[in-house]
Amino acid sequence: MSVSHDHGRPPAVGLLLCNLGSPDAPETGAVRRYLAEFLSDPRVVEIPRPVWWLILHGIILRTRPAKSAAKYASVWMKEGAPLKVHTEAQAKLLQGWLGEREHKVLVRWAMRYGNPSIASQLDALRAAGAQRILVFNAYPQYCAATSASVMDKVNEWLQAQRWQPELRVINQYHDHPAYIEALATQVRAHWQREGGPHAPLVMSFHGMPERTLHLGDPYFCHCHKTARLLAEAMQLPKGSWQVAFQSRFGRAKWLGPSTEHVLTELGRAKHEAVDVICPGFAADCLETLEEIAMEGAETFKAAGGGQLRYIPCLNSSEAGMRALGTLAEQHLQGWPTRELPDAAALAAQRERALALGAPR
């Protein structure tokens, strides 16, 4: 795009909060378009392209969209897809959080797949005068299929820019103290509402094929470190918490144990209740609200268990926004986010000081 340069305007600082994405509507056509973009990303499905193209277009996009649309419809909010609603709220509150600390930052949000696109929001930040942009990946744990994929899109946009902005990136925060404390606060608040804990606390992360670990992806290790730090922050005794991985797809061996297996075993053990939190998601979405809070609850009950008590993601909670704000503020350090007084204002300030008897 062409950019109109206002040389009299001071350069601005921008922040782009990025998450995965959702279809535009809980309808088969919209879901098919979304899945086609999502599942065509070589970061997401790492098998030979010709083979995967036949599977994707010959089978998956013919059968899966209708089923997925029904699932989206079960969690759809009045304002739209839960992930979009929560991410938009986070961006607005993040702008306010930084503003209260006298940071002048243009905050926008984008989805890796679907709308609003990363390219369109970067265009908007540049059009508003942003010459420095912080790309904030909402994913707490780094994974090539998520964090790296966002940067693929950012770099694709950069290639079309003659005057590229200065960039910084938050590509993970799995062990950041503010994030861990926010998770602990969320669990404590849940237990206060529900009348205390029910062991074990299941920490369910999104699954990935096991081969990604062997290829050097740190995701599995990041998930376990997040879980360990959360358990330590809450002083949970050994055996009272467990890590699991959800959202398996296809026949490949995935990271384990699976959340479905864990919930089944807990149900067979006749647990009266089980608490489940999803620390790999910054905001609630289909994978938390439908897969865990609904399907997971059915799995647990069918196996002989009682109630599955789902602990919501951080979303726009006070603790969650404090964590996002703290991360943003740390990564913005050194950039001119606070307005400096102009020469006239400085002169007037000095004159007032002199009038009050300050030494010359």
- Alpha helix (H) ranges present in 195-258? 211-214, 219-233
Do 86 and 21 contact (CB within 8 A), yes or no?
no
| Amino acid, single-letter form, for residue 23 | P
| 137 three-class SS | strand
Q: For residue 59, what are the CA distances in angstroms to 65, 114, 152, 341?
A: 11, 22, 27, 62
Q: Please provide residue 217's backbone torsions phi and psi, each rounded to the nearest 5 degrees.
A: -75, 130
Task: Select from 242, 133, 135, 229 the least CA-distant residue to 176.
Answer: 229
Do 333 and 132 contact (CB within 8 A), yes or no?
no
Query: Measured between alpha carbons, how far is 94 from 258 in angstroms, rounded to an integer?
Result: 34
Binding site for Fe(2+), by residue number, is 206, 287
Binding site, by residue number, is 206, 287
Query: Measured between alpha carbons, how far is 106 from 92 in angstroms, rounded to an integer?
Result: 10
| 266 three-class SS | helix
Task: Select from 128, 125, 147 the least CA-distant residue to 138.
Answer: 147
Q: Please provide residue 328's backbone torsions phi and psi, each rounded to the nearest 5 degrees.
A: -65, -45
Task: Select from 57, 60, 65, 76 the least CA-distant residue to 30.
Answer: 65
Do 135 and 151 contact (CB within 8 A), yes or no?
yes
Do 320 and 186 contact (CB within 8 A), yes or no?
yes
Q: For residue 193, what are the CA distances in angstroms to 18, 190, 309, 320, 356?
A: 31, 5, 11, 18, 57
Both tokens of 306, joined, read 């009682």
